[in-house]
């Protein structure tokens, strides 16, 4: 019973993570496109966003492999489990998919708000990883611990 519960818990946890990492890198892709068109010469800014995008994509792939190697599919999880979705809805009053990234980036105030959303999502994510690394249900899964350690290292750098 306990093993069953643990396995369900980890499936759900992995599913929430795979959703959020995917949501993260695909949203950063949109930001990147808009930043490239507004500040094409700002190589430093573009490079830092690219690094962030690459990290989030790497996290997504780690969870995907974790599922694949167990022969499992992630559970269906949607935007109510998305942290970036929630922050965007609070700060912009609309869903991510309805957000016009170009308009946001061409307005300094809105752009600052977007940066704040990204930063809040990251801070939240970092705290969450610290909690999960100490969580008894997670500690049984060595591979998951390894994934969370990598995320823990990546977060402050981007």
Q: Residues interacting with Fe ion, by CB under 5 A? A: 21, 56, 59, 122
Looking at the Cβ atoms of 53 and 59, the one nearer to Fe ion is 59
Looking at the Cβ atoms of 56 and 141, the one nearer to Fe ion is 56
Closest distance to Fe ion from the beta carbon of 1 (Å): 32
The owner of tokens 């690394």 is 133
Closest distance to Fe ion from the beta carbon of 125 (Å): 5
Looking at the Cβ atoms of 6 and 86, the one nearer to Fe ion is 86
Closest distance to Fe ion from the beta carbon of 56 (Å): 5
Dihedral sign, Cα of residue 96, residue 99, residue 100, residue 103: negative
Looking at the Cβ atoms of 141 and 154, the one nearer to Fe ion is 154
Closest distance to Fe ion from the beta carbon of 3 (Å): 28
Looking at the Cβ atoms of 102 and 143, the one nearer to Fe ion is 143
DSSP secondary structure of the chain:
-HHHHHHHHHHHHHHHHHHHHHHHHHHHHHHHHHHHHH-TT-HHHHHHHHHHHHHHHHHHHHHHHHHHHTT--PPP--GGG-HHHHHHHHHHSS-GGG--HHHHHHSHHHHHHHHHHHHHHHHHHHHHHHHHHT-HHHHT-HHHHHHHHHHHHHGGG-
With beta carbons less than 8 A apart as the criterion, state whether 114 and 96 touch.
no
Closest distance to Fe ion from the beta carbon of 28 (Å): 9
């Amino acid at each position: 019973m306990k093993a069953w519960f643990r396995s369900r818990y980890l499936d759900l946890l992995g599913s929430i993570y795979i959703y959020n990492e995917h949501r993260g890198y695909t949203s950063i892709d949109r930001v990147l496109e808009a930043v490239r068109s507004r500040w094409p010469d700002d190589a430093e800014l573009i490079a830092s966003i690219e690094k962030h995008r690459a990290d989030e994509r790497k996290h997504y792939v780690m969870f995907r492999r974790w599922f694949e190697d167990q022969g499992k599919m992630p559970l269906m999880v949607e935007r109510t489990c998305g942290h970036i979705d929630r922050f965007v809805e609070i700060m912009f009053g609309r869903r991510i998919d309805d957000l016009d990234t170009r308009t946001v980036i061409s307005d300094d105030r809105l752009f600052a708000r977007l940066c704040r959303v990204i930063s809040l999502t990251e801070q939240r994510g970092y705290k969450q990883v610290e909690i999960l690394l100490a969580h008894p249900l997670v500690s049984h899964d060595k591979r998951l611990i390894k994934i969370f350690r990598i995320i823990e290292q990546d977060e402050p750098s981007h």
